[in-house]
């Protein structure tokens, strides 16, 4: 009997098979560690790879979602590693709908989604990573951070007044503060990866024009009115500052152990495929296995079987 039980239903490694297809699709989206990124120049929000439309991508998405469900079951059964999915984006880039679609096939017991908002008074009384550490996945789990510790070098950087709320001692609040944060975040993630937790970081990259269209839809369509927030318009005024903060973040925190993927988000259907593919790819590399019983456990199982048969 093989020691590793492999289910080859979804992931045949044949050339041109889904495994190759996924690797090919996500390769151009990866931010190579050490490269300097400049947005919007370096990544096209309208990119759709070699897929021409939603219909062409439908089968791939369906397959990705099925593979995710299968891998999630293995991850949970194996109970050794965990997966953290970090989702960052500007408003109306589609974080919520991406989560909904990509995770649609997964057992809800194995996945936790946490949305990070403006920090509470209690959270501000701790170091800035505290509230994120608290929500990390356990072994066997997938956790999704809808916004994440990266807000600490994005919104806080664009609005330095937010730093005042963080009650930092003056000696810590130096001109190097963002460099220090990049380093601390990289080390935090390295620690996680060295203790069995894989990190997938997705930046949903929407264009300024597409954001405008989506905000208009939120005003024009009654069923979307609830999503409209005047704060989103306010933040849109800081578009260029955000592009710069994101560029610097991508340049400084894409590492071998936790690389960033820039997901083109102007076409929602493609963003979903790309996000699913990136997560599946990470799980494929982890390749979690259902535990196989040792000989002693197998003998016991055989005894239980006999007992049940003799009833």
Which residues in this chain contact ligand ATP in the complex, by CB under 6 A?
A: 91, 96, 115-119, 147, 151-152, 155-156, 162, 229
Nearer to Mg ion, 96 or 123 (CB): 96
Residue with nearest beta carbon to Mg ion: 91
CB of 231 to Mg ion, least distance (A): 7
Following CA atoms 273, 275, 279, 282 in sequence, which dihedral angle do they give, to the nearest 10 degrees? 100
Interactions with Mg ion, residue window 66-105 (CB under 5 A): 91
Interactions with Mg ion, residue window 119-138 (CB under 5 A): none
Q: How far apart (Å, rounded) are the C-alpha atoms in residues 302 and 311? A: 15
Q: How far apart (Å, rounded) are the C-alpha atoms in residues 111 and 108? A: 5
Partner from Mg ion, ligand ATP, none binding residue 141, C-beta < 5-8 Å depending on class: none
CB of 31 to ligand ATP, least distance (A): 21
The residues, ordered by sequence, that sit 6+ positions from 43 with a Cβ below 8 Å of its Cβ are 29, 37, 205, 262, 264
Say if CB 200 and CB 282 are below 8 A apart.
Answer: yes
Nearer to ligand ATP, 151 or 210 (CB): 151
Partner from Mg ion, ligand ATP, none binding residue 5, C-beta < 5-8 Å depending on class: none
Nearer to Mg ion, 146 or 255 (CB): 146
Nearest Cα residue to 65 out of 265, 287, 262, 272: 272
Q: How far apart (Å, rounded) are the C-alpha atoms in residues 87 and 194? A: 21
CB of 200 to ligand ATP, least distance (A): 18
Partner from Mg ion, ligand ATP, none binding residue 118, C-beta < 5-8 Å depending on class: ligand ATP
CB of 46 to Mg ion, least distance (A): 23
CB of 158 to ligand ATP, least distance (A): 9
Nearest Cα residue to 162 out of 150, 154, 170: 154
∠ at Cα 253 (249, 256), nearest 5°? 150
Q: How far apart (Å, rounded) are the C-alpha atoms in residues 82 and 141? A: 5
Residue with nearest beta carbon to ligand ATP: 151
CB of 95 to Mg ion, least distance (A): 9
Query: What is the three-state SS of 229-280?
Result: CHHHHHHHCCHHHHHHHHHHHHHHHCCCCCCEEEEECCCHHHHHHHHHHHHH
Nearer to ligand ATP, 74 or 95 (CB): 95
Nearer to Mg ion, 121 or 230 (CB): 230
Strands laid side by side in the 197-205 sheet: 111-115, 142-146, 82-89, 197-205, 260-264
Partner from Mg ion, ligand ATP, none binding residue 136, C-beta < 5-8 Å depending on class: none
CB of 221 to ligand ATP, least distance (A): 15
Say if CB 149 and CB 132 are below 8 A apart.
Answer: yes
Nearer to Mg ion, 91 or 210 (CB): 91
Say if CB 91 and CB 232 are below 8 A apart.
Answer: yes
Nearer to Mg ion, 70 or 91 (CB): 91
Q: Where on the chain is the footprint of Mg ion (CB under 5 A)?
A: 91
């Amino acid at each position: 009997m093989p020691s590793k039980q492999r289910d080859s239903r979804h992931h045949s490694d044949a050339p041109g098979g889904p495994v190759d297809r996924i690797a090919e699709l996500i390769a151009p989206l990866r931010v190579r560690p050490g490269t300097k990124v400049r947005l919007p120049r370096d990544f096209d929000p309208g990119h759709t790879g070699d897929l021409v439309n939603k219909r062409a991508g439908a089968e791939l998405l369906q397959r990705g979602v099925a593979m995710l469900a299968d891998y999630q079951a293995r991850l949970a059964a194996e109970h050794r590693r965990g997966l953290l999915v970090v989702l960052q984006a500007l408003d109306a880039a589609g974080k919520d709908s991406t989560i909904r679609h990509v995770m649609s096939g997964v057992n809800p017991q194995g996945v936790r989604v946490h949305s990070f908002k403006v920090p509470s008074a209690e959270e501000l009384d701790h170091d800035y990573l505290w509230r994120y550490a608290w929500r990390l996945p356990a072994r066997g789990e997938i956790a999704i951070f809808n916004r994440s510790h990266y807000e600490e070098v994005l919104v806080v950087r664009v609005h330095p007044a937010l730093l005042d709320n963080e009650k930092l001692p003056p000696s810590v609040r130096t001109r190097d503060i963002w460099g220090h944060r990049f380093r601390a975040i990289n080390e935090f993630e390295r620690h996680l990866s060295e203790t069995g937790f894989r990190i997938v970081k997705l930046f949903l990259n929407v264009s300024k024009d597409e954001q405008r269209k989506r905000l208009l839809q939120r005003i024009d369509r009654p069923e979307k009115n609830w999503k409209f927030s005047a704060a989103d318009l306010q933040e849109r005024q800081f578009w260029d500052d955000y592009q710069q903060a994101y560029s610097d973040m991508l340049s400084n925190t894409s590492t071998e152990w936790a690389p960033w993927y820039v997901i083109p988000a102007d076409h929602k259907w493609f963003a979903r495929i790309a996000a699913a593919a990136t997560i599946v790819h990470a799980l494929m590399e982890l390749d979690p296995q259902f535990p196989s019983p040792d000989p002693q456990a197998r003998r016991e199982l055989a005894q239980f079987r006999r007992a049940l048969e003799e009833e």
